[in-house]
Chains A and B, each alone.
Chain A
Amino acid sequence: MTVAVDRDQAFLAAIRRIAGEVAAPSADDVDRNARFPSETIEALRAEHAMSALIPEEYGGEEISFEAVAAACFELGRRCGASAMVFAMHQIQIASIVRHLNGSAWFEQYLRDVSRDQRLVASVTSEIGTGGDLGKSIAAVTPGAYGQATFEKQAPTVSYGAYADDLLTTLRRAPEAEPGDQVVVLTHREQFNLEQKGTWDPMGMRGTCSPGYTVRAEFPVEQVLPTPFSTVGTESMVPISHILWSHLWLGIATDAFDRARAFVRASAKARPDQLPPTAVRLSQLMSELSLLRAEVSTGLRDFSDASGDRESLTTMAMILRFNNLKIAASEQAPRVCQGAMNVCGIVGYKNDTPFSIGRHLRDTMSACLMVANERIHQTNASLLLIAKDV
């Protein structure tokens, strides 16, 4: 126990150092040029952060999930795009660790990730499914000699061009129903990305997430044994919502910190008077604390369920983690906008110590990452039958 706690603390100290010394100085350049935060990801690799959630038996660091969530928060405070790349990688790894179900191929894959610090991206969304991740059009298509292929039209693949591996949702077979999905892991030498369109978005610019036609050929052992219906409900969806909300909280916290620094600077200029912005800052703090409370109870509820993973498949739990995503994705940009209201024009400008533009733009992506409207539709349906929510 103490060893695990020490390990978590050492990991978080390394993450804080990378966030402060590497991610923060390059955040504006990453944002301005919509470029991949390579230096941050390299620094994370050097600290073996890519295998943070991999158990020791597969050569990983076996860091606690709670510490990885805290790492998303710490990175989010310094560079939202770096935090999102880190979070998305951890989501894929956690899904594999929790659902490899004794597969020798996936056990060896985790050892490879631990040794080589491979970066995994995901290909879950698909053109033509109306944003429903529980449906696929592209299918695992069997070929000769135990090989299979797929071709998937993805509207976005975050950091696809920089990933060593892709985790892709697909129909189990050409004749399978849209909801009968599996997850396939393919290596860079097995897949081909044909970029569709450009990448010049409002925020989260460093995630480099244009659309692609993804084609791959791979041995069938690379299909995860557990169906996506289980992987998604028990792991990928709740873990995504928890790690995303932690990094959104990180971005909002930095926006708040900048607003506070601005108010303190005003107060120092005239120590005898309460600056007019101070009350606005106090109001903003209560907005931030609402966000912080939802994010931390979301993590706690997930941790409480760790002994009974199947409990995550109940409607009450699905609603719980959907609500975390909706609440955090709406509250984080609200806090950023409040911070801009405190800072005024120096917050609006892009080149001051109090600039909030990147924070606001980055957090405005939150309500689109699995559209809140789509999640509300799911919740509305579940609320018809769920009792104790």
Chain B
Amino acid sequence: MNQSADVADRIRQVIREHGHLPVDISTLDDETDLFQAGMTSHASVNLMLGLESAFDVEFPDAMLKRSVFQSVSAIKAALAQLQVAA
């Protein structure tokens, strides 16, 4: 549970640094659509790079699509799939 919360916090930190959201990420819950909240396609690429760096992973091409990076919980699920956030 704590570990899971920790992963979410780290994801939120990467979003804060790279997502270029017009709102503070702390005001959004884990399910909020980041694109609807104002993340651009270009910022989403920066977010993916930031996540790869922060979690020391590489997202395979099949995961490089909008839906995988749409929310904090979607990102968490993607990282879990890569066995980072088990």
A interface size (C-beta, 8 A) = 25
- A71 to B84: give the CA distance in the assembly, Å: 50
0/1 interface trace, chain B 29-60, chain A, CB 8 Å (1 if under): 00000011111111001001100100000111
Known: A310-B65, A378-B41, A381-B45. A179 touches B35 (CB 8 A): yes
A385 and B49 form a contact (CB under 8 A): yes
Q: B residues within 8 A CB of A178?
A: 38
Nearest opposing residue in chain A for B66, CB measure: A313
Residue contact B45 to A382, C-beta cutoff 8 Å: yes
Nearest-neighbour CB distance to chain B for A126, whole angstroms, equals 16
Which residues of B sit under 8 angstroms from A233, Cβ to Cβ? Answer: 66
Contact of A385 among B36, B40, B62, B64 (CB under 8 A): B64
When chains A and B are docked, how far (Å) is the Cα of A382 from the Cα of B41? 9
Residue of B nearest to A381 (CB): B45
Q: How far is the CA of A303 from the CA of B52 in the complex (A)?
A: 32
Interface hits, A335-389 → B, CB 8 Å: 378, 381-382, 384-389
Q: Which residues of A contact B67 (CB under 8 A)?
A: 310, 313
* Alpha-carbon distance A311/B40, docked complex (angstroms): 20
Distance from B41 Cβ to chain A, minimum over Cβ atoms (Å): 6
Q: Point out the residue from B41, B60, B64 that lies within 8 Å of A134, measured CB to CB.
A: B41
Give chain A nearest CB distance to B76 CB in angstroms.
19
**Please, how many angstroms separate the alpha-carbon atoms of A386 and B59 in the complex?**
9
CA distance A384 to B45 in the complex (A): 8
B36, B62, B66: the one within 8 Å of A177 (CB): B36
Q: Are B65 and A313 neighbours in the complex by a CB distance under 8 Å?
A: yes
A316 within 8 A of B: yes
B3 to chain A, nearest CB (A): 26
Closest Cβ–Cβ distance, residue A137 to chain B (whole Å): 14
Contact B65 A387 (CB under 8 A): no
Nearest A residue to B39, CB-CB: A179
Residues of A within 8 A of B42 (CB): 381
Cβ of A180 under 8 Å from chain B: yes
Mark out the residues of chain A between 130 and 165 whose CB falls within 8 Å of any chain B CB in the assembled complex: 134-135
Q: Is the CB of B38 within 8 A of A316?
A: no
- Chain B residues positioned under 8 Å from A381 (CB to CB): 41-42, 45
Residue ranges of B at the interface with A (Cβ–Cβ < 8 Å): 22, 35-42, 45, 48-49, 52, 58-62, 64-67
6 A-B pairs with the lowest CB-CB distances in the bound complex, closest first: A177-B38, A313-B65, A315-B64, A180-B36, A388-B61, A316-B61
